Amino acid sequence: MSVDGTDFLILKRRPHSGEKKYYSHKLRHAALGYEVAVCIQTGHLVWINGPFPAGSFPDIKIFRRNLKGQLLPGEMVEADKGYRGDEPVRHSNVVVSRSDARAKQRVMTRHETMSSDLKRFGCLKQQWRHSLNKHSAALASCALLTQLMYELEGGPKFHCKY
């Protein structure tokens, strides 16, 4: 599977309430971070982990907290450079041939496309103004609708041979 983190805007927290722990370097604003994984073979969304305060939990920290422990011995994931330093992760610097590099690029492009498709929904595209406890339910609903949209359209927007 391919794995990557994605952040969603939230209302700016007051400085005394721990704003720095929510500050996302990706969005340059307060945000919640999630880990999203997509099956390389099918293009299905297979894993969502979060929410986490974006400033306190970089992608690799979220990965090590849960998904890494779910992998079988010898199983690996494809990820971007934000996941450097962990054995079960193959990031863009780990390629064995040109065709491997192209396949990896296509997998990660499809992953980024799915992340952007999640953000087409107004509740995730705009700044979240509700209780933070409800954000994960909204994301799960949007993920389900995105997956159903792919199913109705005959699969993911493009296929990857790996």
- The whole-model pTM stands at 0.87
CB 68 within 8 A of CB 88: yes
What CA–CA distance (Å, rounded) separates 150 from 159? 12
Return all residues near 86 (Cβ < 8 A) that are at least 6 apart: 60, 63, 64, 68
What is the DSSP-derived secondary structure letter of residue 34?
A: E
The per-residue pLDDT for range 62-86, each reduced to its tens digit, is 999 999 999 999 888 999 887 887 7
CB 30 within 8 A of CB 12: yes
**pLDDT recorded at residue 34:** 96
The per-residue pLDDT for range 100-151, each reduced to its tens digit, is 888 888 888 889 988 999 999 999 999 999 999 999 999 999 999 999 988 8
**pLDDT recorded at residue 56:** 92
Handedness of CA 62, 65, 70, 75 (dihedral sign): positive
